[in-house]
């Protein structure tokens, strides 16, 4: 009989290890997912918006759209990519004016397919958290409702600390062109 129970402590130890590993693993995963959720909630983010939300202009007339930023942390620079309805509205690329906190735009580009883009760095060594990026003029081409909006896939707000893109969302402007 003593030979049968000789390995009992070994088997009990193995059972303890086998059942403890999943419990410890589950606790670690739970703790890790909570810290990931906390870090996502505390993560820096930026929002690009336009002012006004709605704009009415006459065919052939012009209006100004202000490009705004609101960030939870300092932004060192921006890549702005705007999409617009080229049938209804046009963007006057040479009308782009930057605010006092952003430098001259780097390589502004405009194409006939309804895209306008530029990049700029801040002049403030601490970065920018909110304010006006710049302004651009639009012209009414044909009657109806058009739009101008940030392209979320191409636009970026570059965090001043870790140089990552922190753009989380953006809002555009509805443009109504009248006679």
Same domain, 109 and 161: yes
Q: Rg of the chain over CA atoms, in angstroms? A: 27
Q: Tell which residue, 169, 143, 155, 60, has the closest CA to residue 115.
A: 155
Same domain, 107 and 141: yes
Same domain, 158 and 171: yes
Q: What CATH number did the domain enclosing 125 receive?
A: 2.60.40.680
pLDDT number for residue 161: 80
Q: What percentage of the chain reaches a pLDDT higher than 70? A: 76
- Global pTM? 0.72
How, if at all, do strands 128-140 and 54-58 pair?
unpaired
47 contacts 156 by C-beta, under 8 angstroms: no
The residue whose two tokens read 């932004």 is 75
Q: In this model, does residue 129 exceed pLDDT 90?
A: no
- Domain limits for position 103: 46-178
Report how far apart the first and last C-alpha atoms of the chain are (Å, whole number): 104
Say how many CA atoms lie within 13 Å of 146 toward its Cβ.
Answer: 25
- Name the domain count of the chain: 2
pLDDT number for residue 43: 55
- Choice among 49-53, 89-93, 126-130 with the minimum mean pLDDT: 126-130
Same domain, 174 and 94: yes
Same domain, 130 and 144: yes
CA 169 to chain centre: 5
Q: Tell which residue, 68, 108, 114, has the closest CA to residue 91.
A: 114
Same domain, 98 and 19: no
170 contacts 132 by C-beta, under 8 angstroms: no
Q: In this model, does residue 36 exceed pLDDT 60?
A: no
144-171 pLDDT per residue, tens: 999 999 998 889 888 888 788 888 888 8
Same domain, 82 and 14: no
d(CA 35, CA 40): 8
Same domain, 83 and 3: no
Same domain, 38 and 50: no
Same domain, 76 and 161: yes
Q: In this model, does residue 15 exceed pLDDT 70?
A: no
Same domain, 82 and 6: no
Same domain, 117 and 160: yes
Instruction: Give the DSSP H or E segment for 179.
Output: none
pLDDT number for residue 38: 42
């Amino acid at each position: 009989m003593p030979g049968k129970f000789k390995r009992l402590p070994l088997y009990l130890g193995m059972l303890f290890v086998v059942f403890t590993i999943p419990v410890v693993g589950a606790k670690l995963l739970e703790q890790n997912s909570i810290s990931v959720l906390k870090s996502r909630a505390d993560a820096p983010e930026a929002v690009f918006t336009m002012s006004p939300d709605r704009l009415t202009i006459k065919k052939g007339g012009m209006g100004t759209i202000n490009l705004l930023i609101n960030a939870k942390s300092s932004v060192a620079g921006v890549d702005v990519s705007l999409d617009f309805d080229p049938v209804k509205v046009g963007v006057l690329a040479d009308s782009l004016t930057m605010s006092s906190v952003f430098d001259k735009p780097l390589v502004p580009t405009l194409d006939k397919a309804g895209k306008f883009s530029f990049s700029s760095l801040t002049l403030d060594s601490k970065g920018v958290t909110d304010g006006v990026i710049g302004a651009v003029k639009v012209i009414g081409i044909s009657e109806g409702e058009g739009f101008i909006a940030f392209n979320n896939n191409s636009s970026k707000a570059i965090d001043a600390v870790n140089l990552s893109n922190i753009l989380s969302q953006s809002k555009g402007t509805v443009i109504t062109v009248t006679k």
